[in-house]
Amino acid sequence: MLRNWWFRLLTISLGVWLFLDLLAHLGAEILWFENIGYLQVFLLRIVTMGGLWIFVAGISAAFCLGNLHLAYRHQHPPNHPSPMVAVKVQQVPRSKEIKLVWLLPIALVLSSLVGLMVIYYSQIAATHWHPGIIRDIPVNPQLFRPGRIWELIGNFISTPWYFGLILAIVIAIVVYPHFLLRAIAILLSLLFAQIISHNWARILQYFAPTSFNASEPLFDQDISIYIFSLPFWELLELWLMGLFLYTLIAVALTYLLGAGSLSQGVFLGFSSQQQRHLYGNGGLFMLLVALSYMLSRYELVYSPRGVTYGASYTDVTAVLPSYTTLCFASLALAFYLLWRTVSWKPQSRYRPFIFYSLGVYLIGMVAADIFLPTLVQYLIVQPNELQREQPYIQRTIALTRQAFDLENIDVQTFNPTGDLTEADIQRNDLTIRNIRLWDQQPLLETNRQLQQIRLYYRFSDADIDRYTLLKEVPAEIPTATGVFPNPVDEETTERRQVLIAARELDYTAVPQQAQTWVNRHLIYTHGFGFTMSPVNTVAPGGLPEYFVKDIAGNNDTALTTSSEAIRESIPIGKPRIYFGEITDTYVMTGTKVKELDFPSGSDNIYNIYDGVGGIRVGRGWRRLLFAMYLKDWQMLFTEDFLPDTQVLFRRNIKERIQAIAPFLQFDSDPYLVAADAGDKDFEKNGSYLYWVVDAYTTSDRYPYSDTTSLNIADHQEKINYIRNSVKVVIDAYHGTVNFYIADPGDPIIATWGKIFPHTFKPLLDLPLNLRKHIRYPVDLFKIQSERLITYHMTDPQVFYNREDQWQIPTEIYGDEARPVKPYYLITSLPTVPLSESNSSHREEFILLLPYTPRQRSNLIAWLAARSDGENYGKLLLYVFPKERLVFGPEQIEARINQDPIISQQISLWNRQGSRAVQGNLLIIPIEQSLLYVEPIYLEATQNRLPTLVRVIVAFENRIVMAPTLEQALQGIFQPEVTPTPTIIRPLEEPAPSQ
């Protein structure tokens, strides 16, 4: 008795605790979303998920348990307790008896299928619960297909614990069928609810579609059908197929294992009521099979069977008619079974029809999925593959280029003339003065040595951007051209390419003895400031120069600037960083304990947060709510809280925006911008730091489009459509988040705009000072450039032969070879007239990546993405002539490393205790020529502090290494005045590549 009382008390306590925990979680999330201004997004998502969960779980449980209850009522009386009952049972019309030799295998097979279903749906649910656990389970399985079942059986048997779990389920069902079949019904109902509710985005998109105004060629359907409608029906199929299949199997097992059939060694046969019940469930299952074959017809546009992605010749001529036939056959069987259920007759002359039909159907299903496609592929397609597949290859090329926005690339021929002169260098002085000599990695290493100030600060990243800066008066700005004087320039500003890095707080670097609760949550609350370095200038000793550095902490400015012009060009204000890339702790502000602001000499300066990014905790019920939500019980007992105390959580910017818009994919590289927004969307408090994150709309359902991988968090996701539809701006002090639509022509973001009408704003609403800093995102550019390697070939025969395949070249960085990464430049694009530029200057901010032919090293093309003004987002592909040699990065690297004088100098630096690091090799287009520039850094093997020691410049048949870019350019274009340290090596002209 006492034991039962304790068990009840424990159960009630656990239930109350779970309820309060859920309530605390919901309350804290509502307060957070309300604070940040996106409560409508959260409520719609929660209501949709909750409603779907309750609906699916309720319908599934009611259907399964109701059928099992009915089956239990209709099963045979156990052991026939009296002769009268036995006689009555024998008189009931029933099917033939099943002996033990057949009964046991049938029961084991059906129980094994139940075990497979439980594990399979558990895995799918686990991918939604934690995407990083299992990554190879398709979202929309075709569970009933013989090939799929055979594949599942093979996978599970090859995994010992899977096999053991299935065996345990089989034994348990055979021994305890009544209890276990109901328990599994409840478990599957919960799994179905989990899967459907976590696909809430598909449900919402289905009810608010946007037309693509483009159709696919196989069924002539608008592409929106495949993006918005087909996933919804696949999700419905996933749920109902599992529901009806399990119910059919569970009812059959209930009848087969009832009345002690196994112990008696015989099953007396299905009674009339049992047969009617099985006919009804079988009819519903076949109805779903018909739906599945109907959907499978449309899913052929994702077929990998042919030489290209999408429906191939075999799919269209053999599989499609087979699926259509099987769809109508399934529908006919379903209607027949349901008609027999409604108008039931115990004795029917059409009764054998169902068995013959099922036999023919199963044979046709195996033939359609396995034998017929194989025969057509080997006997008809492969002997004439190009002829048969040519129209389908054309479809894949066209729709892949649409899906990745490759069809809008402006392709132009670029034939380097090699006649670059001193006058051209002078005319392109802005390009020369913005050639990047400092890579991100060496600058970060230097920052960590010189600018971290304290252990608890960290520079996690350095981002390339461009700023318009005031010139000094009188102007004494160092130029890259040195001896090439500029003409009189009446302008007072200039564009400079810079590297900007945020000085964030890294609490893990705080000494272990100081990692107390007060320090973690009340004192160490924010980072402070940033550094900004020009990419092309070098300070004495080979170190980078800084436009902005240190922590000044005086009344005039919080950071040190290099000049008055920089101070007026770059807004500094109070550069506290409460929200950043590595910020992962929650903090309380406005307490009795002051926050560490920044160090000043041997003392520290303290501050109290006055932003809008916190939620008031106070001393009442909210303290308990957040203590439960954050699982931090010290919040209940601390005496440092005041009535106005606020809690700031979810301060990591990626986590922050992911919580608001989980239906978007976000770029891996947020970048910091220092600008005066001056707009109502942004708070006024003297903070001018903002994070900009590119967001993408993606899909894996674009018809005929070849798939690629997109890195998301800690795993890769297959996609075949992407658009950079949104720019996200996060205030580094207040944490406010604004979403701006950068691509209004994208139907997916238009659909999300319908669903969440107050979430997205037009890009024109982004303040001009911030809009000047948007740039073409690297992640999107990488995906497009990778697709272009193959899909620049638009001729089906050339594509089939892969005769013009490209590749991304490699370069030597440090002491290892690696693929060339896209890099930003300020330069003028060849063949672009001045009328298309944004101002009187031709130079613009672009992202560039070169290509070489497959297994060759000469340059074949380069892709450029534009980022300025009205030209933002435009792509240009410059193709080099095939009949002449244009040096590629690998050839230039080879010339550098095999040059006896240069390689000897690098070897001298690579002595014990130091090493020479070859930086990024940049290809700079200037006029109708190409200039190659590579920096050389020297760093210690320990306590690395990289210094820029040499610059290598290559042009046509000459290669120069000099201490500075100015001297290297002089060595190329004014060799008669070259200083002694400059090393000039002529390049031998190799034979052109064929």
- The pLDDT score that the predictor gives to residue 601 is 74
Residue 78 pLDDT > 70: no
**How does residue 125 score in pLDDT terms, banded at 50, 70 and 90?**
confident
- The pLDDT score that the predictor gives to residue 300 is 92
Percent of the chain residues past pLDDT 90, beyond the cut: 50
In angstroms, how far is CA 206 from the centroid of its own chain? 22
For the ranges 196-210, 342-356, 680-694, the one whose mean pLDDT is highest? 196-210
Question: Coil, strand or helix: which one is 24?
Answer: helix
Residue 980 pLDDT > 70: no
The rounded distance, in Å, linking the Cα atoms of 502 and 321 is 60
Q: Are 269 and 94 in contact (CB under 8 A)?
A: yes
Question: Coil, strand or helix: which one is 73?
Answer: helix
Burial of 349 (0-12, 13-18, 19+ CB in 10 A): exposed
**How does residue 645 score in pLDDT terms, banded at 50, 70 and 90?**
very high
Q: Tell me the C-alpha to C-alpha distance, in Å, between residue 981 and each of 484, 964, 971, 985.
A: 20, 10, 10, 13
pLDDT in tens, 866-891: 999 889 999 999 999 888 888 899 99
Measured in degrees and rounded to the nearest 5, phi and psi for residue 563 equal -160, 170
Mean residue pLDDT of the chain comes to 85
- Residue 770: beta bridge partners? none
Residue 86 pLDDT > 60: no
pLDDT in tens, 253-294: 998 887 777 777 787 778 888 888 999 999 999 999 999 999
pLDDT in tens, 508-550: 988 888 899 999 999 999 999 999 999 998 888 889 999 999 9
The rounded distance, in Å, linking the Cα atoms of 458 and 455 is 8
Residue 47: DSSP 8-state = H
The rounded distance, in Å, linking the Cα atoms of 194 and 937 is 54
Q: State which amino acid sits at residue 543.
A: L
**How does residue 130 score in pLDDT terms, banded at 50, 70 and 90?**
low
Q: State which amino acid sits at residue 8.
A: R
- The pLDDT score that the predictor gives to residue 477 is 42
- The pLDDT score that the predictor gives to residue 349 is 63
Contacts of 113 (CB under 8 A, 6+ apart): 245, 249
Q: Are 585 and 520 in contact (CB under 8 A)?
A: yes
Q: Which of 326-330, 368-372, 621-625, 647-651 has the lowest mean pLDDT?
A: 368-372
- The pLDDT score that the predictor gives to residue 151 is 66
- The pLDDT score that the predictor gives to residue 144 is 52
Question: Coil, strand or helix: which one is 534?
Answer: strand
Residue-by-residue DSSP string for 69-131: HHHHHHSPPTT--SHHHHHHHHHS-B---EEHHHHHHHHHHHHHHHHHHHHHHHHHHHHHH-T
Element containing residue 648 per DSSP (H, E): strand 646-648
- The pLDDT score that the predictor gives to residue 490 is 45
What are 564-569's contacts with CB under 8 Å, separation 24+? 564/472, 565/469, 565/470, 565/471, 565/472, 565/473, 566/469, 566/470, 568/470, 569/467, 569/468, 569/469, 569/470, 569/493
- The pLDDT score that the predictor gives to residue 348 is 63
Label the pairing between strands 689-699 and 665-666. antiparallel
- Residue given tokens 């196994």 in the structure block: 262
Closest CA to 961 of 912, 915, 925, 916: 916
Label the pairing between strands 671-674 and 493-502. unpaired
pLDDT in tens, 367-392: 777 788 889 989 999 999 999 999 99
Residue 156 pLDDT > 70: no
Counting every residue written for the chain, the total comes to: 994
Query: Residue 3's CB: how many other CB atoms inside 10 A?
Result: 7
Residue 490: DSSP 8-state = -
Q: State which amino acid sits at residue 788.
A: L
Higher per-residue pLDDT: 488 or 220: 220
Q: Sign (positive/negative) of CA torsion 434, 439, 444, 446?
A: negative
Q: Are 289 and 245 in contact (CB under 8 A)?
A: no
- The pLDDT score that the predictor gives to residue 152 is 65
Q: State which amino acid sits at residue 779.
A: D
Contacts of 835 (CB under 8 A, 6+ apart): none
Q: Are 626 and 647 in contact (CB under 8 A)?
A: yes
The rounded distance, in Å, linking the Cα atoms of 264 and 71 is 20
The rounded distance, in Å, linking the Cα atoms of 54 and 571 is 52
Q: Are 847 and 778 in contact (CB under 8 A)?
A: yes
**How does residue 712 score in pLDDT terms, banded at 50, 70 and 90?**
low
**How does residue 417 score in pLDDT terms, banded at 50, 70 and 90?**
confident
Residue-by-residue DSSP string for 974-991: -GGG--TT-EEEEPP-PP
**How does residue 475 score in pLDDT terms, banded at 50, 70 and 90?**
very low
Helix pair 146-158, 100-129: axis angle to 10 deg: 80
Measured in degrees and rounded to the nearest 5, phi and psi for residue 991 equal -65, 140
Residue 510: DSSP 8-state = S
- Residue given tokens 């139907």 in the structure block: 747
Q: Which of 239-253, 409-423, 560-574, 677-691 has the lowest mean pLDDT?
A: 677-691
- The pLDDT score that the predictor gives to residue 780 is 95
The rounded distance, in Å, linking the Cα atoms of 754 and 207 is 10
Label the pairing between strands 844-853 and 823-827. antiparallel
pLDDT in tens, 835-863: 555 544 578 999 999 999 998 889 999 99
Q: Which of 476-485, 650-659, 942-951 has the lowest mean pLDDT?
A: 476-485
pLDDT in tens, 741-774: 999 999 999 999 999 998 999 999 999 999 999 9
**How does residue 162 score in pLDDT terms, banded at 50, 70 and 90?**
confident
Percent of the chain residues past pLDDT 70, beyond the cut: 87
The rounded distance, in Å, linking the Cα atoms of 225 and 209 is 8
Residue-by-residue DSSP string for 573-635: B--EESSBSS----EEESSSSPEEEEEETTEEEEE---SS--EE-TTSHHHHHHHHHHT-THH
Residue 563 pLDDT > 50: yes
**How does residue 628 score in pLDDT terms, banded at 50, 70 and 90?**
very high
- Residue given tokens 């290859």 in the structure block: 393
Label the pairing between strands 410-413 and 875-879. parallel
Element containing residue 856 per DSSP (H, E): none
Strand locations in 654-736 (E): 665-666, 671-674, 689-699, 708-712, 715-719, 721-731
Please provide the distance, in angstroms rounded to a whole number, between the alpha carbons at the two ends of the chain.
Answer: 92
- The pLDDT score that the predictor gives to residue 666 is 93
Helical segments of 809-954, H only? 889-898, 900-909
Burial 952-963 (b: 16+ CB within 10 A, else e): bbbbbeebbbbb
Higher per-residue pLDDT: 374 or 402: 402
Segment 160-189 shows an average pLDDT of: 87
- Residue 411: beta bridge partners? 877
SS (HEC) of 511-528: CHHHCCHHHHHHHCCCEE
The rounded distance, in Å, linking the Cα atoms of 1 and 18 is 26
Residue 157 pLDDT > 80: no
- Residue given tokens 């097979």 in the structure block: 109
Question: Model pTM?
Answer: 0.90
The rounded distance, in Å, linking the Cα atoms of 451 and 884 is 48
- The pLDDT score that the predictor gives to residue 528 is 93
**How does residue 943 score in pLDDT terms, banded at 50, 70 and 90?**
confident
Query: Residue 143's CB: how many other CB atoms inside 10 A?
Result: 19
**How does residue 578 score in pLDDT terms, banded at 50, 70 and 90?**
very high
Q: Are 647 and 614 in contact (CB under 8 A)?
A: yes
Closest CA to 284 of 251, 241, 254: 241
**How does residue 233 score in pLDDT terms, banded at 50, 70 and 90?**
very high
The rounded distance, in Å, linking the Cα atoms of 132 and 126 is 9
Burial of 541 (0-12, 13-18, 19+ CB in 10 A): exposed
- Residue given tokens 């200037």 in the structure block: 926
Segment 810-828 shows an average pLDDT of: 87
pLDDT in tens, 661-677: 999 999 999 999 999 88
Is residue 990 reached through a cis peptide bond, with omega within 30 degrees of 0 on the bond before it? no
